[in-house]
Chains A and B, each alone.
Chain A
Amino acid sequence: MMPVARPAAWDGGVCPFAAGWQRVLMWWFIVGDGLLFGAFLAAYGYARLIATTWPDSSVVFSLPYLAAMTLVLNTSSAMMASGVAAARRGAWPTARRWLLATTLGGVLFLGMQADEWRHAIAAGARLSGNPWGDASFGAYFFLITGFHGTHVLLGVLILTIATARVATRRATPLGIELVGLYWHFVELVWVFIFTLFYLL
């Protein structure tokens, strides 16, 4: 006798994780991309541990400015979640407004990061060295924040397309939710960078 699947125990029927393939693939992407960030942060930790002296981030960077950057991304993420909820309710004009506000939050964050880079470069920070101490500090600063910034830039582009699709009634609630998952992931990574690179 052939074994019979038990939906009650598996709870996903023929679908592993009890989620549609789009959501599952998005989560796989998030875990994979998260591992890439994890590798960068682990390499940063290694460089920091073997260094006999390491620059004090609170001296190099302005913590109130970083707090403002965090607030912008945090607010943008909450607006994205509100936009996803509106899309699921079918309130598309409300969803469009939240998405637009989320996009503007992303643009503001990018502008603030560009300004932070401008200050660091003006102070003498380069990939090969910096005026504050261990040479790899500058390299890891540009690598980690640059990689995250690239994700924010991609997120802004995706959000712009999603907003346009909502405006032209071509968007689906699932599509908006997947955009939201990506945007929240960008905030999630910032939590690690903010703590491990800037505060510790």
Chain B
Amino acid sequence: MKGVVRRGVTMTDRSDRFSAGGESVRLYWATWAALLALTLVMLLLDTAPVARPWLVAVLLVAMLAKVALIAGNFMHLRHAHAGLVWTFIAGLLITGLTLYVLIVPDALRIRDMLVNR
């Protein structure tokens, strides 16, 4: 593990904590297999006779599972400082949800206006 001493305080770069040995490479290819399996499940569901609300919910959950696998294992975010992890989560997901909350009611209102015109 690499440590840097600045102003008498030992600083450890958490990203260095993941093992770079053979076990990590096995983890990467296990992640690859999991991503592949999730993609196949998503494709099968998309062609299966599943009710639309359920399809949307399951596809979104599968999408977020894939994002977590890539960010956590490939990008080593699960070894990172909580502040960095929350910067990523807050920066992308919370902003995305905010956009959704702001946009969807307005879009639906416009569609209703177009339909009822």
Contacts and interface: CB of A to CB of B under 8 A. Distances in A.
Interface of A: 5, 7, 11-20, 23-24, 27-28, 30-31, 34-35, 38-39, 42, 45-46, 49-52, 58, 63, 67, 70-71, 74-75, 77-78, 80-82, 84-85, 88-89, 177, 180-181, 184-185, 187-188, 191-192, 194-196, 199-200
Contacts of A5: 9
A46 B75 contact: no
Contacts of A196: 63
A7 B67 CA distance: 31
Nearest to A77: B74
Interface residues of B, number: 59
Contact of A192 (B63, B75, B91): B63
A13 B6 contact: yes
A15 B14 CA distance: 11
A35 B92 CA distance: 6
Interface of B: 4, 6-7, 9-15, 20-21, 24-25, 28-29, 31-32, 35-36, 39-40, 42-43, 46-47, 56, 59-60, 62-63, 66-67, 70-71, 73-75, 80-81, 83-84, 87-88, 91-92, 95-96, 99-100, 103-104, 106-108, 110-111, 114-115
Contacts of B66: 191
B91 to A, nearest CB: 4
Given A27-B88, A78-B32, A82-B25, A46 B107 contact: yes
A18 B70 contact: no
A49 B107 contact: yes
A58 B45 CA distance: 12
Contacts of B107: 45-46, 49-50
B28 A200 contact: no
Contact of A19 (B13, B32, B67, B75): B13
B47 A17 contact: no
Nearest to A198: B46
Contacts of A81: 25, 28, 31, 73-74
B14 A18 contact: yes
A71 B36 contact: yes
